[in-house]
Amino acid sequence: MSQRGTSLRRLLKQQGIVIAPSAYDALTAKLIEYMGFKAISTTGYGISASFLGAPDVGLLSFYESLEVHRRIAGAVSIPVIADADTGYGGPLAVARTVREFERAGLAGVIREDQAEPKRCGYMPVERRIIPVEKMVAKIRAAVEARESEDFIIIARTDADDVSTEEAVRRMKAYLKAGADMVKSQPKSVEQLKAEIREVGAPMHVGLGIGPLKNVGVEDLKEWGLEEGVASFPLALLYASARAIMEVLDAIRRQGSVKGLWGRMVSFNEFNELLGLGKYVEMENRCYQPLGEGKVG
């Protein structure tokens, strides 16, 4: 059973729009939970950058993605929505992807209708999309493969490159095929407004980037989105890169970290974030002499 999928569905009913910042590794997932958020999305762009040091151009394999997502889900207790790219193949491969990601502790997956090799939806490069019938077959496979109905299937289209009408047509078809939520890659605010209005269903929306860089959750509500997920796919990745570059630049110039401590968390703060105290307590319990308490 997908307990985290159940938790995510409960959050959606309670909050309408759930803010789920995007993690790209276990540490960023821990930080998101530590800061009080109730759900996490992941970013294939960020995972490709952090895991491979490469752009999001279809280089990340199924096994690499699964392992990163397993670690992310294992590092936190809140629901995690996985960016599963194209599903790593046809309907049968998609079915396996869903089963493995669900068993790894994820709450749901996002699948897109790009043709291989896939490309990040924000990159100024050509993207090709598969026929709608093939994507519908993949969605049906995903729905059939999940062990729990609470595991959330999110279908993304890149048809915004073609037209708003085509993106809306595809999202409606994907919902009819069994997707729980849909996602697009709007090229303008007006395009997103039209899609929210025309689709009239739960949507996953990536904010803080491209044409939506200044759009917030309140805007989505004002435009009529009643239920969905708002992620910030590149915010943490870009903030981390900038902060690290600034500290490295200072180290290069002065040969020390003098004067930089105000930009960094302390040793104790970081250990608290990682839950060091919990691990120490467990180890101490394990080393208790026999007869002085239960080991566990």
- CATH number of the domain encompassing residue 157: 3.20.20.60
Is there a single domain that holds both residue 158 and residue 199?
yes
Task: Indicate the residue among 213, 233, 253 that finishes a domain.
Answer: 233
**159: in domain:** yes
Is there a single domain that holds both residue 145 and residue 270?
no
**291: in domain:** no
pLDDT for 294 beyond 70: no
pLDDT for 126 beyond 60: yes
* Strand, coil or helix: 127: coil
pLDDT for 129 beyond 90: yes
Say what the pLDDT of residue 127 is: 84
DSSP conformational letter for 90: S
DSSP conformational letter for 199: H
Is there a single domain that holds both residue 98 and residue 199?
yes
Q: Residue 84 is part of which domain span? A: 3-233
Is there a single domain that holds both residue 217 and residue 276?
no
Task: Indicate the residue among 211, 233, 255 that finishes a domain.
Answer: 233
**68: in domain:** yes
**292: in domain:** no
Say what the pLDDT of residue 50 is: 96
Burial label, 266 (beta-carbon count in 10 A; 0-12, 13-18, 19+): exposed
Alpha carbon separation from 251 to 35, 75, 255, 258, 260 (Å, rounded):
28, 31, 5, 9, 9
Is there a single domain that holds both residue 22 and residue 71?
yes
The total of structural domains in the chain comes to: 2
Task: Indicate the residue among 188, 208, 233 that finishes a domain.
Answer: 233
**77: in domain:** yes
**How far is Cα 114 from Cα 39, in angstroms, rounded to an integer?**
26
Q: How confident is the model at residue 131 (pLDDT cuts 50, 70, 90)?
A: very high
**101: in domain:** yes
DSSP conformational letter for 270: H
Say what the pLDDT of residue 122 is: 75
Is there a single domain that holds both residue 143 and residue 28?
yes
Lookup: tokens for 275: 């839950």
Is there a single domain that holds both residue 156 and residue 282?
no
pLDDT for 295 beyond 60: no
**Side chain identity at residue 260, one-letter code:** L
**108: in domain:** yes
**Residue whose entry in the numeric block shows the structure tokens 């077959």:** 137
Is there a single domain that holds both residue 124 and residue 31?
yes
Q: What is the pTM of this model?
A: 0.92
**How far is Cα 187 from Cα 161, in angstroms, rounded to an integer?**
8
Q: What percent of the chain has pLDDT over 70?
A: 98
pLDDT for 293 beyond 60: no
Is there a single domain that holds both residue 207 and residue 264?
no
Say what the pLDDT of residue 30 is: 97
Is there a single domain that holds both residue 181 and residue 49?
yes
Q: What is the mean pLDDT of residues 54-65?
A: 92
Q: What is the mean pLDDT of residues 10-18?
A: 97
Give yes or no for a contact between 210 and 122, defined as CB atoms under 8 angstroms apart. yes
Q: What is the mean pLDDT of residues 260-265?
A: 90
CA dihedral 76, 66, 20, 148 (to 10 degrees): -90
Handedness of CA 284, 288, 294, 296 (dihedral sign): positive
pLDDT digits 0-9 by tens, 20-38: 999 999 999 999 999 999 9
Is there a single domain that holds both residue 92 and residue 133?
yes
Is there a single domain that holds both residue 53 and residue 174?
yes
Does residue 117 have a cis peptide bond before it, meaning omega lies within 30 degrees of 0?
yes
For the ranges 171-185, 263-277, 281-295, the one whose mean pLDDT is highest: 171-185
Residue 112: closest CA among 143, 81, 88: 88
**294: in domain:** no
